[in-house]
């Protein structure tokens, strides 16, 4: 009898533990979140030929660069993937249509995270994560911005970049890149996501070689650097946090704190004051369903993290919709009173005017 009681207690503990884990996963995924659309301002939809997964803005000129790719079309036919591109958008001239910056680019190109970098020399560069279907090793493509065109400079590949997500440049040839998963595909990747296993990491490239500078991160997603270059920001959507690192003189990084944002943050952009803006997925399971079926809508959200002082931050929700205007928001980028919100799959982005 005593043995049976012990077995019952063990089984009960396992059941309770499993229910807690499932409940916590559903909570973190936003299943119980109530969506109340709001935004103080106006918005318009700007059509492009692919999902605007990432947007980066030159705060000096007000030119936005939009990463666009038809991911569903590529998933359906990987032997004949639809070419992705980068768009040029003038935020000072709303009447100007977005311009395709790579109309004749021959290299297999499927951009993910991107970053605009203005060097001290005045050179303007664009770095892009490229999930080229014909490459077994993922890459970073490096371009020079020449007006409304991009000139391809070089391709950087390394065995550490197995699942790159976003990139931030800290020099003409140097950058940090996130690796969002430890597993690249299959059942292992699925389990990594649903169990929220900390298998992601951050790599640093010094212009010649690459090394891992931070590991054991749950879904290492969007990344950016503070204007003074001393802080590195990293979105961890599965933990609903933004991790804050101190950046050392040798380009190593050390985590100092994290900011709980209560939602799944994707890409991170900075405004002219150095505040953080994130496109977010408030309901992750709806986003997963939307990824498979465009008829299923996924709410879109933009939040702002105001830098109040050294390791002091304030989170505010600026924009929220139920997926009707745009589904699956992955980026929010700001220039003056302009707020651009892009999504992974919808072939458009939102151009909002904030009051």
Distance CA 330, CA 316 (A): 17
112 is catalytic: yes
Which contacts (CB < 8 Å, 24+ apart) does range 142-145 have? 142/173, 143/86, 145/65, 145/116
- Tell me which residue of 24, 17, 18, 25 sits closest to 285, measured CA to CA: 25
Spatial distance between the Cα atoms of 259 and 185, rounded to a whole number of angstroms: 29
Say if residues 240 and 282 touch (Cβ distance below 8 Å).
no
- CB-side exposure of 98: number of CA atoms within 13 Å? 26
CA pair distance 15, 222, nearest whole angstrom: 36
What distances in angstroms separate CA 214 from CA 160, 173, 217, one per listed residue? 12, 20, 8
CA 284 vs CA 199, 263, 291, 300: distances in Å: 19, 9, 10, 11
Residue 183: Cβ-neighbour burial (10 angstroms; 0-12, 13-18, 19+): middle
Burial group, residue 290, by CB count within 10 angstroms (0-12, 13-18, 19+): buried
CB burial string 118-127: b at 16+ within 10 A, e below = eeeeeebbbb
What spatial distance separates the first Cα and last Cα of the chain, rounded to whole Å? Answer: 71
Query: Rounded to an integer, what distance in angstroms lies between the CA atom of residue 346 and that of residue 341?
Result: 11
Catalytic residue among 110, 112, 281, 290: 112
Alpha helices in the chain (DSSP H): 2-28, 71-76, 186-194, 284-292
Catalytic residue numbers read 112
């Amino acid at each position: 009898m005593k043995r049976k009681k012990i077995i019952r207690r063990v089984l009960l503990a396992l059941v309770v533990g499993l229910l807690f884990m499932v409940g916590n996963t559903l909570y973190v995924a936003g299943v119980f979140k109530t969506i109340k659309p709001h935004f103080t301002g106006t918005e318009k939809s700007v059509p492009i030929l692919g999902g605007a997964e990432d947007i980066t803005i030159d705060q000096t000129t007000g030119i936005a660069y939009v990463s666009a790719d038809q991911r569903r079309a590529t998933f359906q036919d990987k032997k004949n993937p639809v070419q992705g591109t980068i768009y040029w958008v003038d935020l000072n001239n709303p009447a100007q249509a977005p311009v395709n910056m790579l109309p004749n680019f021959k290299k297999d190109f499927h951009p993910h995270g991107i970053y605009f970098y203005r060097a001290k020399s005045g050179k303007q560069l664009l770095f892009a994560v490229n999930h080229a279907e014909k490459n077994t090793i993922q890459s970073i493509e490096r371009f020079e911005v020449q007006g409304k065109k991009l000139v391809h400079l070089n391709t950087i590949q390394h065995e550490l970049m197995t699942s790159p997500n976003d990139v931030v440049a800290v020099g003409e040839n140097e950058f940090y890149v996130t690796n969002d998963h430890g597993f690249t595909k299959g059942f292992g990747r699925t389990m990594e996501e649903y169990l929220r296993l900390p298998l992601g990491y951050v790599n640093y490239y010094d212009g010649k070689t690459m090394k891992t500078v931070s590991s054991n991160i749950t879904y290492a997603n969007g990344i950016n650097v503070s204007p003074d270059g001393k802080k590195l920001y990293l979105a961890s959507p599965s933990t609903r946090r933004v991790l804050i690192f101190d950046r050392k003189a040798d380009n190593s990084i050390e985590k100092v704190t994290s900011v709980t944002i209560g939602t799944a943050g994707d890409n991170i952009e900075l405004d002219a004051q150095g505040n953080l803006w994130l496109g977010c997925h408030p309901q992750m399971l709806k986003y997963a369903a939307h990824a498979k079926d465009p008829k299923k809508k996924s709410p879109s959200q933009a939040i702002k993290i105001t830098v109040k002082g050294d390791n002091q931050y304030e989170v505010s929700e600026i924009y929220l919709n139920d997926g009707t205007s745009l589904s699956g928001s992955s980026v929010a980028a700001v220039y003056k009173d302009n707020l651009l919100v892009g999504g992974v799959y919808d072939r458009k982005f939102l151009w909002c005017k904030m009051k």
